[in-house]
């Protein structure tokens, strides 16, 4: 077996692709160069050809019709084609691979047996679920909210929506009843699909009772379809609640896939931005599937028969594109894991890789950092010889974690694909291809086919052509899986992504481009923080805090956290009649967990008698960030503050 050794280049290491990776690769360096050039020089011709990788009911004749022009942003791909996404992910594989495993389900508790769901099984299950949804009154274009654990029924529900032409909106099972209600109401959903309980890391989240609490704040016509997962006790509202397992026994095994336009929305997924409440990112059917399946195949060098495992939750975009749609469109075997990396102990990921002979493994830097700290013996006791490709996503990966992944998990033989993308982009935009590109610890390397990144000067908005350089990352042209709009608010879509830098899609990330033209993401340049790979708008946490009766004002910033990447640091000004106390810190923490969910739980709460504000009343977050980072030397100019003395007070009383 060949291992790659790093070539030291100035201060950074470069790992050329191993001979093994090159020999196996679907795309080698020459092929990448040729295809990439073709995709940029003539996108119409390129995507006309590659759009055919999926099955169309009526073939498209128009390929790309997109505009980033301010006031007229409009994204359409393959717009006159029709298709059904579920038929692409299931039916078209039945003649050739009906008995092949589509989904391997690995439960939270390792003592519970894993399940293998073949493409034939998947077809039956999805058809039944589609018929149940139709019985509940779901029709083309209706919205269905999915609030489920990481169980196969989550995939059935997504594909059943796609089958009948309904738009799904998945709400992560860790979100609170309030967050769930906001999303049900925001999309005016007809049905919520949930389960009795969600087991995770040996604990159980009471999903059905969360849904009950949420539905009190929703229209009383909303129906609730309940999947049995643990058999835990639930309360039942007759006429509103429906028993999935019972209905599935009766439901018909066939449901005809609806003919959908390429531009019909496939799903809505709420994500955090720098202002206001989370926005509903809308993805299309045709362009999304083309790009999700193509990136899944080439970025992970997926070959027939491989076992692919993406450890994300289907509540995030990574789970949509790389557990369900990308892999299943490619006829792959995809692993769905219900648990967490450290339960029962820190070897769980590696045991699952060993047990199911996983070939491609895709996870987040935060998980790697947590596991790295537990010691190598948890990795070394498992046979990881099946692994061929390792991937990361969600946040910048620090070189220590990258090296550990490469050396200890991959034994130096598995290329690491560091994939940069977003909920909004639908699929990978920057990533090395395993047999084509060298890799560098911490770099997302190269654009995928059809992706045209530019680095802009944040002040002038001009493209920077020199190497090396640093600035904000924008995309110059559209790609098929670009989000189409914000649900119900196209203006917000334009304003968020197309107004800062006219004529470009602005991703919200800063980046560097090195001498070789390789990209390094430096993190968000807006008020979005990245906690364990989860996006969080500081504004969301602030509005949760100020909703508490004791809080007059709050400002939230990110600060460096060893495991989570970033932690949540809150400056809180109390109402005049309230006194700071440890009990109140606890109460506020719990309050935010209840308002948003445990992932938003503040790491640090500092009492702030005053916040640094400009004379126009704008909070100077730059200063708050520096204090949270314990970096008092570079606070910059504080003379424009309305009351500069608040800064001294905050420094003197820095928490944590």
Do the Cβ atoms of 127 and 120 come closer than 8 Å? no
420 binds ligand 6R9 (CB under 6 A): yes
Do the Cβ atoms of 427 and 321 come closer than 8 Å? yes
In whole angstroms, how far apart are CA 437 and each of 25, 293, 418, 448, 636? 11, 20, 12, 12, 41
Give the residue, chosen from 435, 508, 558, 565, that forms a contact with ligand 6R9 under the rule CB under 6 A: 508
CB of 523 to ligand 6R9, least distance (A): 6
Do the Cβ atoms of 153 and 195 come closer than 8 Å? yes
Q: Which is nearer to ligand 6R9, 536 or 584 (CB)?
A: 536
271 binds ligand 6R9 (CB under 6 A): yes
Asked if residue 315 belongs to a known ligand binding site, the reply is: no
606 binds ligand 6R9 (CB under 6 A): no
Find all residues with CB under 8 Å of 631, minimum gap 6, and list them: none
CB of 39 to ligand 6R9, least distance (A): 21
Asked if residue 565 belongs to a known ligand binding site, the reply is: no
Do the Cβ atoms of 572 and 607 come closer than 8 Å? yes
Do the Cβ atoms of 376 and 399 come closer than 8 Å? no
How many whole angstroms separate alpha carbon 174 and alpha carbon 314?
A: 12
- Tell me the three state secondary structure of residue 250: helix
Give the residue, chosen from 88, 261, 293, 318, that forms a contact with ligand 6R9 under the rule CB under 6 A: 318
Tell me the pairing of strands 416-418 and 389-392: parallel
349 binds ligand 6R9 (CB under 6 A): no
564 binds ligand 6R9 (CB under 6 A): no
446 binds ligand 6R9 (CB under 6 A): no
Residue owning tokens 């209840």: 594
How many whole angstroms separate alpha carbon 479 and alpha carbon 216?
A: 40
Handedness of CA 119, 123, 124, 129 (dihedral sign): positive
Question: Taking the CB of residue 138, how many other CB atoms lie within 10 A of it?
Answer: 23
CB of 400 to ligand 6R9, least distance (A): 15
Q: What residues are paired with 225 via a beta bridge?
A: 193, 242
CB of 395 to ligand 6R9, least distance (A): 5
Question: Taking the CB of residue 33, how many other CB atoms lie within 10 A of it?
Answer: 12
User: Between residue 520 and residue 549, which ones bind ligand 6R9 under the rule CB under 6 A?
Assistant: 521, 524, 530, 535
509 binds ligand 6R9 (CB under 6 A): yes
496 binds ligand 6R9 (CB under 6 A): no
Q: What angle do CA 93, 267, 452 make, to 5 degrees?
A: 85
Give the residue, chosen from 317, 367, 551, 568, that forms a contact with ligand 6R9 under the rule CB under 6 A: 317
CB of 76 to ligand 6R9, least distance (A): 22
Asked if residue 439 belongs to a known ligand binding site, the reply is: no
Candidates 77-85, 301-309, 310-318, 488-496; binding stretch for ligand 6R9 (CB under 6 A): 310-318
- Tell me the three state secondary structure of residue 494: helix
444 binds ligand 6R9 (CB under 6 A): yes
Give the residue, chosen from 421, 493, 501, 519, that forms a contact with ligand 6R9 under the rule CB under 6 A: 421
Q: Which is nearer to ligand 6R9, 255 or 271 (CB)?
A: 271
Smallest Cα–Cα separation from 27: which of 417, 357, 287? 417
Question: Residue 74 corresponds to which tokens in the numbers above?
Answer: 């409009």
Asked if residue 480 belongs to a known ligand binding site, the reply is: no
Candidates 38-46, 417-425, 615-623, 635-643; binding stretch for ligand 6R9 (CB under 6 A): 417-425
417 binds ligand 6R9 (CB under 6 A): no
Q: What residues are paired with 506 via a beta bridge?
A: 474
User: Between residue 378 and residue 407, which ones bind ligand 6R9 under the rule CB under 6 A?
Assistant: 393-396
Q: Which residues are annotated as a binding site for CoA?
A: 200-203, 318, 532, 593
Task: Write out the residues near ligand 6R9 by the rule CB under 6 A.
Answer: 271, 316-318, 393-396, 418-423, 444, 507-509, 521, 524, 530, 535
């Amino acid at each position: 077996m060949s291992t790659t050794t790093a070539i030291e280049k100035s201060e950074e290491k470069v790992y050329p692709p191993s001979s093994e990776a090159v020999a196996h690769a679907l795309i080698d360096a020459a092929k990448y160069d040729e295809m990439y050039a073709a995709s940029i020089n003539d996108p119409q011709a390129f995507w006309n050809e590659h759009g055919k990788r999926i099955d169309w009911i009526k073939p498209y004749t128009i390929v790309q019709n997109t505009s980033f022009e301010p006031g007229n942003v409009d994204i359409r791909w393959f717009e006159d084609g029709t298709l059904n996404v579920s038929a692409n992910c299931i039916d078209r594989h039945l003649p050739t691979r009906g008995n092949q495993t589509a989904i391997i389900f690995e439960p939270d508790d390792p003592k519970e047996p894993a399940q293998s769901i073949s493409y034939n099984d998947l077809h039956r299950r999805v058809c039944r679920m589609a018929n149940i949804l139709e019985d509940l009154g779901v029709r083309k274009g209706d919205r269905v909210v999915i609030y489920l654990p990481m169980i196969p029924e989550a995939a059935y529900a997504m594909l059943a929506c796609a089958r009948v032409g309904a738009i799904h909106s998945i709400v992560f099972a860790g979100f609170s009843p309030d967050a769930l209600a906001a999303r049900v109401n925001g999309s005016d959903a007809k049905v919520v699909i949930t389960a009795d309980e969600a087991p995770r890391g040996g604990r159980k989240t009471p999903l059905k009772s969360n849904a009950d609490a949420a539905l009190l704040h929703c229209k009383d016509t909303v129906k609730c379809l309940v999947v049995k997962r643990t058999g835990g006790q639930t309360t039942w509202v007759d006429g509103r609640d429906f028993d999935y397992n019972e209905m599935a026994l009766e439901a018909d095994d066939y449901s005809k896939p609806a003919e959908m336009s390429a531009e019909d929305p496939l799903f809505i997924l709420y994500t955090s931005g720098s202002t206001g409440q989370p926005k509903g990112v809308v993805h299309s059917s045709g362009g999304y599937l083309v790009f999700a399946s193509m990136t899944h195949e080439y970025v992970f060098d997926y070959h027939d028969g491989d076992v692919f495992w993406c450890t994300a939750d289907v509540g995030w975009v990574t789970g949509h594109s790389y557990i369900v749609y990308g892999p299943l469109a490619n006829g792959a075997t995809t692993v769905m894991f219900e648990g967490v990396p450290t339960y029962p102990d820190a070897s769980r990921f590696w045991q699952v890789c060993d047990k199911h002979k996983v070939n491609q493994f895709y996870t987040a830097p935060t998980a790697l950092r947590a596991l790295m700290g537990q010691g190598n013996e948890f990795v070394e006791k498992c046979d990881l010889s099946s692994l061929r490709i390792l991937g990361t996503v969600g946040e910048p990966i620090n070189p220590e974690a990258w090296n550990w992944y490469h050396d200890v998990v991959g034994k130096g033989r598995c290329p690491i694909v560091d994939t940069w993308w977003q909920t909004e982009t639908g699929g990978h935009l920057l990533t090395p291809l395993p047999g084509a590109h060298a890799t560098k610890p911490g770099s997302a390397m190269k654009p995928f086919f059809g992706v045209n990144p530019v680095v802009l000067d944040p002040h002038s908005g001009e493209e920077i052509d020199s190497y090396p350089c640093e600035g904000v990352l924008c995309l110059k042209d559209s790609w098929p899986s670009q989000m189409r709009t914000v649900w119900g608010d196209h203006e917000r879509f334009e304003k968020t992504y197309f107004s800062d830098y006219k004529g470009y899609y602005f991703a919200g990330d800063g980046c560097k481009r090195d001498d070789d033209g390789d990209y390094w993401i430096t993190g968000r340049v807006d008020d979005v923080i990245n906690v364990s790979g989860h996006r969080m708008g500081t504004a969301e946490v602030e509005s949760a805090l100020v909703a508490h009766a004791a809080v007059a004002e709050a400002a939230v910033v990110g600060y460096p956290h060893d495991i989570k990447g970033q932690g949540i640091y809150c400056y809180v000004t109390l109402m005049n009649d309230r006194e700071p106390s440890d009990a109140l810190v606890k109460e506020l923490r719990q309050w935010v967990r209840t308002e948003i969910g445990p992932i938003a739980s503040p790491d640090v709460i500092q009492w702030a008698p005053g916040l640094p504000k400009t004379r126009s009343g704008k909070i100077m977050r730059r200063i708050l960030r520096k204090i949270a980072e314990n970096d008092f030397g570079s606070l910059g100019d504080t003379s424009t503050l309305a009351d500069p003395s608040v800064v001294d007070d905050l420094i003197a009383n820095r928490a944590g």
